[in-house]
Amino acid sequence: MSLTREQVDHIARLARLNLSDEERERYREQLSAILEHFQRLQELDTENVSPTYRAVESHRQPRPDEVQDSLPRAELFSNAPEVEQNQFRVPPVFD
């Protein structure tokens, strides 16, 4: 599958990219190659292949959820640079 320049222009517009003619041609080639790889994957027979949920099989089990006491407030706020009304005080994000 080969993309046209118009399709690359459309993708660039959606991504709000200003492409030079050289970049437009390079991206057309690269995106076309990626789509060709996906096209080849579509041709594979996966009828008897079970779904894979992880790239690497893991035999670790998640730890059980257990209710535990939380830290005392004094210990919780001991390393905080600023505390106000039993809450962490952080610098404002917006001026």
Please write the tens of the pLDDT for every residue from 74-84.
999 999 999 99
Map tokens 């905080």 to a residue.
80
Residue stretches of the chain with pLDDT short of 70: none
CB 10 within 8 A of CB 19: no
CA angle 63, 64, 68 (to 5 degrees): 105
At a CB cut-off of 8 Å and minimum separation 6, what does 53 contact? Answer: none
Q: Quick check: helix, strand or coil at residue 84?
A: strand
Domain ranges of the chain: 5-42
Position 60 scores a pLDDT of 83
Position 54 scores a pLDDT of 79
pTM of the entire structure? 0.50
CB 8 within 8 A of CB 24: yes
CATH code for the structural domain at 5-42: 1.10.20
What sign results for the dihedral spanned by CA atoms 44, 45, 48, 51? positive
